[in-house]
Structure 1
Amino acid sequence: MVNPGRKRDHSRDADILQATLDVLAETSYADLTIEMVAVRAGAGRGTIYRRWTSKDELILAAVACADQAGPEAGKLPDTGALRSDLLAMLDPDWLGSSERRLRILASLTAMMSRTPDAFAAINRAIVEPSVAAYQHLIQRAVDRGEFAKSADVAALAQLIPAMATYRALFLQQPVDLPFFFSMIDGVLLPALPAPS
């Protein structure tokens, strides 16, 4: 008879992922080790390796988890107007302070340069969920008549996530509230066609 073993206890996952971000912000991608994360989280290395098979996988899971902890744990706001929906989505504390955020994103940039599959993984973990959220909000605004049905919802949904990714990962500049306000009020909303 096969013994299935103990059922995995995922109650420590949040602590481990938070510890990963903490260590990443204090060191760098190159310096972070599973051992450092295990010590910070008060978990065994085996516990971590049973959930994530590599350092890269662990880092991506930590960043993705932080990205999904938005308004009301993933529930998209519905204020009745696109601008206020977009503003309600903003999280100025995503990944922590501006300095901490830049250090973590610098590590992701280093990871992309050293790991061939990292760019696609970062896109899946961070960019695609953001694009999907923006697409939902914009389409809902079009459906309720705020904007013309001719709006290119798919393209416009990519605008803020693409610019935020470029700014953070390549320019190494903060993705902060002034940036989001300029993108929402200066680019996205003016690009949407008025209802006829």
Structure 2
Amino acid sequence: MKVAASLLTFPLVAYAAAVAPRGVPAGPWIAGVWKIAEGTDVFFWGNPINASGGKFWINKAPSAECPSDVEDLDCSKYPGTETIFSGGNGTVFLNVGVPGGQQVYIAENGALSYTTPHSGKIPDGAIVTGFSRTQSVAWGAPVNLYNSNKTWYICPIGEGEPREKVYQVYVGKTDKEGCYWTMVRTYKAEGEGAWEYV
């Protein structure tokens, strides 16, 4: 009887081990939204999240900048063609070269945002903690980004074909209309990031 019980228990233990979280890849990373179409033709498969104007967007280029008037600063090391992040265990930062860095936070209205260069000022009511990156070994699952069980949204800005519009990223809440919930997946960054995002 003990042998039969062990054989029945083994598949459950193996399954639990397969879906249990494991360590995530270290180092800087990029992020993209994944939304499966549900009764609509709107779907996204890893479209990159980019930093621009203090907020985060889909289908909008990052607003990376490298000033030419800083002595001994080699801007060729900071191409800024992607939005690259660091952290993800509690807090998240943009992976930038500017002294003081740039921290990611959730504004009071739910907008995923970041601090301006040379300033660590976080607005009243903003959330800076609760971020986590988790990976499951089951089915080759990717590394997902979360924030304290909050839902992530992308909200359309302007007109156009649904998959080509610009979308703003929100976490936990939004008062915008026409938004879609989404998952956020992260991937190891290849290459250099930006000096700063403006």
Would you say same fold, with TM above 0.5?
no
Which structure carries more strand by proportion? 2
Larger RCO, structures 1/2 (Cα 8 Å, 6+ apart):
2
TM-score normalised to the size of structure 2?
0.24
TM-score normalized with structure 1 length: 0.24
The structure where helix makes up a greater share of residues is: 1
